[in-house]
Amino acid sequence: MAAANTPKPTPSTFAADDALAIATARDHAARADRAHTLLVQRQLVEQRRATRDAAKAGNANERCIAGQRVRHVGNGWVQAGGC
């Protein structure tokens, strides 16, 4: 015969700890992804700025004329996008 006052099993805290560890790992991964995205965006902005500044400065091969970037080729100048 079973005892009347048997305690009910308590849920293991391991499941809660695992869920917290998973959530923490996801958060760290998301933060790393955002940081990498911001780094790449910053690099792209710097590249565009450097290209624009070089075009405005008028290096030997590219110039910015009336808002249009042009590149020197063998027989003249061709459009190479906007400034």
pLDDT value, residue 40: 96
pTM above 0.85, yes or no: no
Residue owning tokens 């996801």: 26
Domain boundaries, the chain: 15-82
Is residue 6 classed as helix, strand or coil in its secondary structure? Answer: coil
Q: Return per-residue pLDDT of the chain as tens, 83 residues.
A: 555 676 665 656 677 788 899 999 999 999 999 999 999 999 999 988 887 777 666 666 777 788 888 888 888 888 888 77
CB 62 within 8 A of CB 54: yes
| 66/55 Cα distance (integer angstroms) | 12
